[in-house]
A and B are shown apart, each in its own frame.
Chain A
Amino acid sequence: MRVTLLIAWREYMENVKTKGFWLGVLLVPIVFFLVFHVSSRLATATPTRYYMLIDQSGEYAAAVETAIRREHQHRVMQDFMRYLQDNRANANNAPVHAEPSSQLAQLMDDFGNDEVAALDEWLSNGGLDFALVMARPYLREGAPEFNAPRPQFVAAAPPADVNHGAAPQDIVEQLRPYLNNERRIDVDGERVSLFALILIPADVDQDIVRPAAIEGLMTPDGGPRGVQYWTGNLTDTRLSSAIQNSINSAIRQQEYADQGIDVEAVRNVQRTRLPLSRLDPGKAVGQEQVSLADTFRQWAPMGFVYLIFISLMQSVQYLLSNTIEEKSNRIIEVLLASVTPGELMMGKLLGIGLTGITTILAWIVSFFVFIRLYQTVETTMIVQVLDVLLSSELIPYFVFYYLCCYALYAGIFLAIGSLCNTLKEAQSLMMPLMAVLVVPILTMSFIAQDPNGTLARVMSWIPLFTPFTMMNRAAAQPPVFDIIGTSVVLVLTTVAVLWLSGRVFRQGILRSGQPPRIIELWRMLRRTAG
């Protein structure tokens, strides 16, 4: 035991001194911080998109412009809401909080429940200027000025030689070099690239689809129907969907008018809503309301699965490289004159396990430091969620499955390491195991959605997947039979794997030359067992 601890301690100290360890410890919080910090800034950093509008019908240009203005106002409102939540006086950290007395609170409540309605309210009240005036008395002292985001979609005039009356395909042909970024357009003397062309043909009204007559989306000759939206960027769909909504809403208003329906009445009807309460039968009476933290708690196991996975990947590196270092340096022989292979293996398992735990603890500590130092609405929400997490039953699950998972896989990887002389050899042996390890990650979100479904239950009984799958299911109160049964199978398998790995380790550690074939491995196990 003393020797095992000595080996573990040396292993730990050596690992902790490596650059890789510190990279691992520091990189995760840094990446986390960057993702958190930069993603909120990134939205405003999206480049300005220039679009060209050619409305041959003469009916929808206004609708398109409205759509784009609404899109911008929507962003302004979202930013303003965030600004309000960050800078409200006597904010009690509730992400969305209703104060019925104030119009501002009404707006925020609307925003939380029905963004479209809130946006209408926002626009009809005069937008940002009004909101700023209204919010002023409620801001905390020393609140920074609100910086409205820049408009993201800016109109560009078509080049002078484009004939607005030409056939649509001719116009597209003429503008194709711009759309393909081969040529640039002039906007206020600046050469910029064209993001999209919105072309509304003169006969666009013929293509309006009414419920009675659903036809194909394409005309018999295969040409596009309706409004033509041309762009080389297929991923940013904000503009196209905003335009589609806006034009449809314009057409519908026209239809209402044609059928003699009061547009205002329709809008009021559309804004009528009935709240939906999400309730959890597992909670105490009176507190069944599903909060954001509850939802998070349901998804949190996935975070733990990731944590187990990442930590395991890190440990695997140490297990393999340290064993192979000892083998290729022939230190192993001196060690074996002093300790038994079993002690050596356990010492390694322990030392590298400690390294992994240290890393996780370092991550958790830096995470806490981060949310203390960097307080925004999101992080205060995380604090609440963390409180829920830490007081939940998930932590013991995590500790148990983490340890079992580590012991199980570490045993296998140590055996692999003992059979190989170079990392290259080890890598080819590791491939199948890596393929196995990918499975719980791939199935993770399915299992989180259906934690007690067939897939989840079957995978729980496969020991290689048990730690991941059961951790994934932990928040969904899996049947007690599953919890206990799979744990027993897992622990027994882990013990068996460690025992077998010990055999392979003992044989493999003094081997030189190529890694053994399967049949040799089998002989090896039998030889030492006898």
Chain B
Amino acid sequence: MSTPALELTDVTKRYGDFTAVNKINISIPQGSVYGFLGPNGAGKTTTLRMILDILRPDEGQIQVLGASSAVQVRNRIGYLPEEKGLYKKMKVWAIIAYFATLKGMSRRMAKDKAYLLLEKYGLKDFANSSVESLSKGMGQKVQVLSSIAHDPELVILDEPFSGLDPVNQEVLEQLIRDLSANGQTVIFSTHVMQHAERLCERLLLITQGIKVFDGTVDEARAIIPRRILLETRDDISSIRSLNGVLSVQEHKIDNETLLAGTRQWELYVKEQTDPQSILQHCFQSGVSLSRFDFTQASLHDVFVHLVGQEAREHNFR
């Protein structure tokens, strides 16, 4: 395996007494799609800025595309910042081309590439409009295009989905898949889990500047044990001792639709446990079920599980 596209070692950033990012370690392989997740104020943007060497870390090392500073390889990086802005008076094609030329492309190639991208992602008709005439969402698409026009090896997108309608979110997801298919490494931050779930191979979860998770999506899901919901009027104590069952709790609900005498139980089971075996056991031991639900934990659940408390506290601060 070649050198990772990005490697952070014990990276720390403080603003006075406040530690924005605390000893973050990550390694992102080339060609992967990597998600930065975390609640507001978790330190995602600060981390991304440090990766780009816009901010300097107080401690730790950052290796970007084999270089010790993004400045040395800046022409191989594309960046979409969290707060989007474009020169209002410039034409759409010109601004894409301008940013591409800043990244080392020749003027002619940059112009051709700008038109190509605008056509590919449905903005061809606006190529000669001025940026100020665009809607916010379109402006954001233009900015995404201007960050990838020079075919960067590493694309860093800070909150690329915010402010886009569902259709354009689809377009952007496709764009990220296109980049990935092209062998480009994509890092993006978001707090919309569905995007991360659909796109990312690996993800990083940080809260209050601390890394709480780094791994694949499946690994993330495994953090929350699988849950089975049972509804029965029979005794279920025999299930407790089953192999792979972690815990059984009564699920108290004020629901009148529940049949008289029946109770609801929540079973937490190990990752590799087959729900079928539990169902089978119920049949064999004569527990008659009126309901059997098996749900896979979503990334959303993982997120809330891992950072829920802090995120709420953060909101009240």
A-to-B contact residues, CB < 8 Å:
3, 6-7, 10, 14, 17-18, 325-326, 328-331, 333-340, 510
State which of B55, B71, B98, B103 has its C-beta within 8 Å of the C-beta of A340: B71
Shortest distance in angstroms between B303's beta carbon and chain A's nearest beta carbon?
Answer: 26
Shortest distance in angstroms between B160's beta carbon and chain A's nearest beta carbon?
Answer: 13
| B93 touches A (CB below 8 Å) | no
Known contacts A3-B102, A337-B54, A338-B99; decide if A14 and B85 are in contact (CB<8 Å): no
Main secondary structure of the interface of B (DSSP, over half): loop
Q: How far is the CA of A510 from the CA of B89 in the complex (A)?
A: 22
Number of A-B contacts (CB under 8 A): 60
Q: A326 contacts which chain B residues (CB < 8 A)? A: 85
Q: A17 contacts which chain B residues (CB < 8 A)? A: 89
* Contacting pair A338 B86 (CB below 8 A): no
* Contacting pair B89 A6 (CB below 8 A): no
Main secondary structure of the interface of A (DSSP, over half): helix
State which of B54, B90, B146 has its C-beta within 8 Å of the C-beta of A336: B54
Q: How far is the CA of A3 from the CA of B102 in the complex (A)?
A: 6
Q: How far is the CA of A445 from the CA of B88 in the complex (A)?
A: 44
Q: How far is the CA of A335 from the CA of B84 in the complex (A)?
A: 12
Known contacts A17-B89, A339-B102, A510-B54; decide if A334 and B143 are in contact (CB<8 Å): yes
* Contacting pair B98 A337 (CB below 8 A): no
* Contacting pair B74 A337 (CB below 8 A): yes
| Chain B residue nearest to A347 in the complex (CB) | B102
A-B contact pairs, 8 of them (CB 8 A): A14-B89, A325-B87, A329-B87, A335-B102, A336-B54, A337-B79, A338-B99, A510-B55
Interface-central residue, B52, B79, B85, by most chain A CB under 10 Å:
B85
Tell me how many residues of B have a C-beta within 8 Å of chain A: 27
Q: How far is the CA of A19 from the CA of B70 in the complex (A)?
A: 38
* Contacting pair B102 A14 (CB below 8 A): no
Q: How far is the CA of A34 from the CA of B98 in the complex (A)?
A: 42
Q: How far is the CA of A331 from the CA of B80 in the complex (A)?
A: 10
Having A14-B90, A337-B81, one finds 19 other A-B pairs with CB under 8 Å, namely A7-B102, A17-B89, A325-B87, A330-B83, A333-B81, A334-B80, A334-B81, A334-B147, A335-B102, A337-B54, A337-B70, A337-B74, A337-B79, A338-B102, A339-B74, A340-B71, A510-B49, A510-B54, A510-B55
Q: How far is the CA of A14 from the CA of B80 in the complex (A)?
A: 23
What 7 pairs across the A-B complex have the smallest Cβ distances?
A329-B85, A337-B79, A333-B81, A330-B83, A330-B85, A338-B102, A331-B85
Q: How far is the CA of A510 from the CA of B84 in the complex (A)?
A: 14
Q: B88 contacts which chain A residues (CB < 8 A)? A: 325, 329
Shortest distance in angstroms between A347's beta carbon and chain B's nearest beta carbon?
Answer: 10
Q: How far is the CA of A335 from the CA of B101 in the complex (A)?
A: 12
State which of B55, B74, B85, B87 has its C-beta within 8 Å of the C-beta of A338: B74
Q: A510 contacts which chain B residues (CB < 8 A)? A: 49, 54-55
* Complex interface bits, B86-123 against A, C-beta within 8 A gives 1, otherwise 0: 11111000000011011100000000000000000000
Q: A6 contacts which chain B residues (CB < 8 A)? A: 98, 101-102
